[in-house]
Chain A
Amino acid sequence: MIKAILIFNNHGKPRLIRFYQYFAEDMQQQIIRETFHLVSKRDDNVCNFLEGGSLIGGSDYKLIYRHYATLYFVFCVDSSESELGILDLIQVFVETLDKCFENVCELDLIFHMDKVHYILQEVVMGGMVLETNMNEIVAQVEVQNRMEKSEVSVQCQPVAELISG
């Protein structure tokens, strides 16, 4: 099970947080801080696994993270997940973001947190891995985006008429 997925930047600013177990907001912020503290002091050439922080989980939990440019992607998982598998999953997730946003950068995540969430929802659900095939993920995300667009266009019609009139 995945207990939490955290994305924050090099300064510890959260860009997306997704807890699969309830924590109150202040606790969530503490966890982010602690995780950032643990992860940020590690060199880029050390291993990507970290024995879990004290706040989240316990001995059975691990932090598995990847560092891309300005962002840290941290998954907090228990022992039922394969460490290398989760690393691959992070890669898949990031590549999917890259496809959906076309050359994703931190700004995309900042301004479209909701969209990132929707993409993540197609990858992980309730703490369990839902889909690992990138094409499938992208396809589902796109269909939903199209649905949203068609709904928005319907809604905007009267406004458009107003403008043109």
Chain B
Amino acid sequence: MALKIVKGSIDRMFDKNLQDLVRGIRNHKEDEAKYISTCIDEIKQELKQDNIAVKANAVCKLTYLQMLGYDVSWAAFNIVEVMSSSKFTYKRIGYLAASQCFHESTDVIMLTTNQIRKDLSSPNQYDTGVALTGLSCFVTPDLARDLANDIMTLMSHTKPYIRKKAVLIMYKVFLKYPESLRPAFPRLKEKLEDPDPGVQSAAVNVICELARRNPKNYLSLAPLFFKLMTSSTNNWVLIKIIKLFGALTPLEPRLGKKLIEPLTNLIHSTSAMSLLYECVNTVIAVLISLSSGMPNHSASIQLCVQKLRILIEDSDQNLKYLGLLAMSKILKTHPKSVQSHKDLILQCLDDKDESIRLRALDLLYGMVSKKNLMEIVKKLMLHVDKAEGTTYRDELLTKIIDICSQSNYQYITNFEWYISILVELTRLEGTRHGHLIASQMLDVAIRVKAIRAFAVAQMATLLDNAHLLTGNMQRNGICEVLYAAAWICGEFSEHLENPIQTLEAMLRPKVATLPGHIQAVYVQNAAKLFATVLKGQEGNTDSTAAQETSQLMIDRLPLFVQSANLEVQERASCILQLVKYIQKLQQKDVEVAEEVSALFAGELNPVAPKAQKKVPVPEGLDLDAWINEPPSESESEDEQPKAIFAKEEPKHSRPRHTEVDEKELARRREARKQEQANNPFYIKASPSSQKVYQDTPGVEHIPVVQIDLSVPLKVPGMPMSDQYVKLEEERRQKERAEKKKKEKKKRKEKRSGRGKKQDSGPESEEDITPAHMVDIVTEEMPENALPSDDDDKDPNDPHKALDIDLDKPLADSEKLPVRSHRAAESLKSPAEDGDVESAAIHAPKKKNGKEKREKKKDKDSDRKKSKEEKKKKKHKHEEKEEDLLGGQAEEPAVQSEETNEVAAPPTSTSVSDLDFWLSNAPVPSNTQEAPTVAAAEAAPVPKVASGTAPNSEPDEPKDTEMEETKSSKHKKKKQKKEKEEKEKKKKKKHHHHHHHSDGGGEESVQNGTVEDEEPLPPMSNYCLLAENSYIKMVCDIQGNLQDGSQVVVSVIFENKCDSFLKSMEFNVLDSLNSKLQRPEGSGPHDGLTVPFQLPPGVSNEARFVFTVQSIVMPQKLKGTLTFIVKNEDSSTHEKLDFKLHFTCTSYLITTPCYSDAFAKLLESGDLKGSSVRLEGVNMPFHHLLARICFHHHFSVVERIDSCASMYSRSIQGHHVCLLVKTSGQTVSIDAKCDEPTLLGNVLDEIKQTFSQC
């Protein structure tokens, strides 16, 4: 009984869970909507309760209903409530619901900022993970701005699980808040070399997404990616990188050359089809970018085509599809290699799979030649008949037209055939492409003069049978062709056999049902036809026929005068009045035909669409000059005429160019000019442009039309394109026979009127002469115009905002906003994000190429310098270049290691100068400001100096020299040259290089050549705190830049035993100077509860904040960890003592420093000096620097050979400057700081670090 009651209460508590809901819906198939609406009412009740479990359950059900299409946005606030539950279970439900139904305009999103921030910094990694996942779906610009810094911090989280999520979500943050890209980029780049493959893959993923949209900004990463490509074994990562390279190569052809070899190797070696496919794709991209000049270029193409053929022949439809897809890319640049596989592609046209057929269609475009065009189109026409879906059929139709009309009808040998094809296509029902067919008809009829008679006949038939086309107005797409038909019949009416019949057809009452624009053309062309008819009839003695025609017009036109369409109405009224007048004249027996046809005299030439824009300004016409003097200055701000005349190269894409002798040419040109002069529609070219005209196969070169009479000009009835195929074959055979005969004669004596073609079809095609040596009139186009550079980029593309120069140093204003009250999680100060700055320091030695590159942007100031540099460096330089030109595959890897001076593993490579990496030729600007410091920070977690003991050993300060060096390098541009010369005298062996970024004009200094530097040994950033048989504690101490009196200690607890560890309490005995921050209300000796329990073998991290007063002295704090070890049967109380050591270096924060700021600092004289000498240091200089950076939180300001200046800052704002020099095994460190005690202690700690190794 009691049980029942309890059960009932539980039922009430969870009225229905998700499963019940689903079951219910399935049981109410008939009245599903009704059932769901009652469910929603229940859910509304549940949401009103205070119990979070009930709410979460309700929200979970809502998520399901959302999937079914119900709008659940009304519950947005409840979802936020569930998200903020402290229980993971509910939080997860809340975030899932939010990710499914929140979007940018959900207003409650702004309430979530703090909750999400709290979750992001939760000690439980899964809380963080759930928040990241949710946020990735509904991040808004506001959230992105407010949380960018928190997420960036998470990119260095100890757990790879969080790191990879944080890295991925950064992409979304960038999209919503583009300002965050530059500050976050250095760290993102570090993650490319994260020890965890998942994180690495995430970083590659994000950078690839970014680079896909704005590839040029990521060129400088190419060496790093190259290294990853040659070292990674993860196919996912490889695919992404290879895809990225595909996007980069068009920008940098030299990159392509480097890629070919490793890619070819991959193609040969990989068994993964996906990887193979992407390699082939990228090789294709490379080959496209290297338009020429690759010796074994054709071998690569062959390899690609071969592999693709294997894919296409595969039984797996997916591979077949992709093979065709890639093939079409090759087609663009290397059509011949693809043409040899025509058989295969034609075979694919018959595939049962529409996707594959469509791909094969794309390929056909490039397969056609004069020889096979008819055959291919015939095949396509068969498919058109068979095709069921209109989409596929329309696709076929456009393809047929595309194929035939490509390159100015290059492959059409018989235009009668083409017209018949077009007419056949008009019989397609329900196509949307009527206008396409129409424009083809117009184009051919206008531009191919020889075909007009035939075209007009066909069009007349079409007009006669117009009722067939317009039968159903629903699918009136095709009636567009009537527009063309009417125009052609009217314009070229002299070719009509029976103009009266056509005129009648055009004036049928049914015409009034056509769309207005077509009617207008009908009316206008009826008038043209009328003129022609009159002309024919007036010759006769009987004038009644002519009068009858006028009467016909007068009878029929009123129908159009009543049209609702203005255009039709206007034209009809005009013409009606005109005809009435003519009729009057006719009745007086006046001859009117001449005058009427004069109305329509003159030929209409095709004019290129952009011709108007490109009319050149005639000589002597100065559009800027005032016709009348301007009244005042202020009115003179009219638009410059230049803007109007966007220039474009004249379209002289005439393929059919005939060899004609000079005389003939001259004669024709003269005739043409004459004709042009008399033609009022012709836009005359200015004399200066005539030259250009002659160089290209221009309009003047068009041979006189000759019609091959071997083909009958008229085919009775509706044309059948098939007839032509047959005829064409016969013709060709005949021709071949003729040719054989003629070959015996001399070649030169070939038919003069019919020149041989000069175009570049396959060799075999030379044999095929077109049936009509046709005059394809080029579209008229004035010359002297620039190609109008229309940028088609979508202004709404969110990626446009991400087109940011990543190499420019960060300005203060760009730093990410940080919440100042957050203490514990702000491991990274925003200032650190400025890393990029120091980057330039690191930019490698290859100056010359770089200089050249810069010239583009900053010619004047750089030219002199670079010359100088050249001289200086000539020797070394040339050697290097030669090596690089060799371009071995290993080169880049070696190179990046070489330049990697101060980097800490595992992120060991800071990218070398792209230029240097690639070769010696000039390349785009300012590639590398790879942040040295960033690299030094690279380790995924904050670093701390391992326990060091003070041990001072003062030395003589060498400030003067240090200052000298600095200042000489860090002056502003103007002084650069001068300084450089000074330097040159001083230390000839040092190669300084001044390099300034294009962005801020800021100056940074590169270091000199570094010889064979090895990769760094791994360094750990956590040091052991204490350990016993149950538990191990390692810790990392980090200053907090936001609060000068706080130090954050991150402790990783690792359960070493087989038992469950719980109730862990962390306590530290406070000293006067340092205190553990405890929650309000707790006593000064209370311990802090560690916010998690540890199952066997699990480790987790907790952070503790300490307040410190003075930071000039190192301190030690005693502490205890107490915990309960719980076994299955027993539990014991254990404790572990530890000593927490706050070294002085833990108060230092890696802060990048501009070199000029650094020089200023030293010059200020506020700093006290000190120095230390280390003996017997047996490690490469860059390792030494890396260690100092890593363990002591310094950043390298500048480095010259075996000398480097470094900088750091304490949490309380003390500046610490170092000059580190090495000779042999002795390292001397001269240091300056505004706090001598702190400096002394830091130096001691550095000494300690090196004495340990």
Contact = CB atoms under 8 A, between A and B. Distances in A.
A28 B353 contact: no
Nearest to A132: B236
A14 B67 CA distance: 7
Interface string A111-151: 11110011001000111111111001000100110011001
A137 to B, nearest CB: 10
A130 B172 contact: no
A45 interface: yes
Interface of B: 3, 6, 10, 18-19, 22-23, 26, 53, 60, 63-64, 66-71, 87-89, 92-93, 96, 100, 103-104, 126, 132-133, 136-137, 139, 161, 164-165, 168-169, 171-172, 198, 201-202, 205-206, 208-209, 212, 235-236, 239-240, 243, 273-274, 277-278, 317-318, 320-322, 352-356, 358
Closest 10 CB pairs of A and B: A126-B136, A84-B274, A47-B317, A22-B103, A46-B353, A29-B69, A47-B321, A148-B89, A82-B239, A47-B318
Interface residues of A, number: 57
A80 interface: yes
Given A82-B277, A114-B96, A47 B165 contact: no
A113 B353 contact: no
B171 A128 contact: yes
B16 to A, nearest CB: 13
Interface stretch (A48-56, A68-76, A97-105): A48-56
B353 A85 contact: no
A114 B67 CA distance: 11
15 contacts: A14-B68, A46-B317, A49-B355, A84-B277, A85-B239, A87-B318, A113-B67, A114-B63, A126-B137, A126-B168, A128-B168, A128-B209, A130-B164, A144-B92, A148-B92
B321 A125 contact: no
A153 to B, nearest CB: 11
Interface of A: 1, 14, 16-18, 20, 22, 24-26, 28-29, 42-43, 45-51, 80, 82-85, 87-88, 110-114, 117-118, 121, 125-133, 136, 140, 143-144, 147-148, 151-152, 155, 159, 162-163
Contact of B358 (A43, A51, A118): A51
Contacts, number: 151
Contact of A47 (B202, B205, B356): B356
A164 to B, nearest CB: 10
A147 B96 contact: no
Nearest to A54: B391
B71 A88 contact: no
Contacts of A28: 69
A82 to B, nearest CB: 5
B399 to A, nearest CB: 14
A50 B355 contact: yes
Nearest to B70: A25
Contacts of A29: 69
Contacts of A50: 355
A147 B23 CA distance: 27
A43 B354 CA distance: 11
Contact of A111 (B18, B236, B243, B354): B18
A148 B70 CA distance: 28
Given A47-B320, A51-B355, A113-B18, 20 more contacts: A1-B209, A16-B67, A20-B137, A47-B318, A80-B208, A82-B240, A84-B274, A84-B318, A85-B235, A85-B236, A112-B18, A114-B93, A114-B96, A118-B96, A128-B205, A128-B209, A129-B205, A144-B92, A147-B89, A163-B3
Nearest to B66: A25
Nearest to B19: A111
Nearest to B10: A159
A132 B126 CA distance: 19
Nearest to B198: A131
A6 to B, nearest CB: 10
A91 B125 CA distance: 28
A142 B272 CA distance: 30
B200 to A, nearest CB: 12
Contacts of A83: 274, 277, 318, 322
Contacts of A117: 63, 96
Nearest to A7: B67
A144 B126 contact: yes
Contact of A114 (B18, B139, B355): B18
A125 B133 CA distance: 6
Contacts of B318: 47-49, 83-84, 87
A25 B93 CA distance: 19
Contact of A82 (B10, B70, B243, B321): B243
Contacts of B96: 114, 117-118, 121
B905 to A, nearest CB: 24
Contact of A17 (B53, B67, B354): B67
Nearest to A26: B69
A52 to B, nearest CB: 11
Most A-side CB within 10 Å, residue of B63, B100, B139: B100
Given A88-B274, A128-B209, A159-B6, A46 B168 contact: no
A79 to B, nearest CB: 8
Contacts of A143: 126
Contacts of B19: 111-112
Contact of B88 (A18, A88, A128, A151): A151
A78 to B, nearest CB: 9
A85 to B, nearest CB: 5
Contacts of B89: 147-148, 151-152
Contacts of A85: 235-236, 239, 274
A126 B236 CA distance: 18
A51 B356 CA distance: 11
Contacts of B171: 126, 128
A132 B200 CA distance: 13
A112 B23 CA distance: 12
A87 B965 CA distance: 59
B836 to A, nearest CB: 25
Given A29-B69, A47-B353, A151-B88, A82 B274 contact: yes
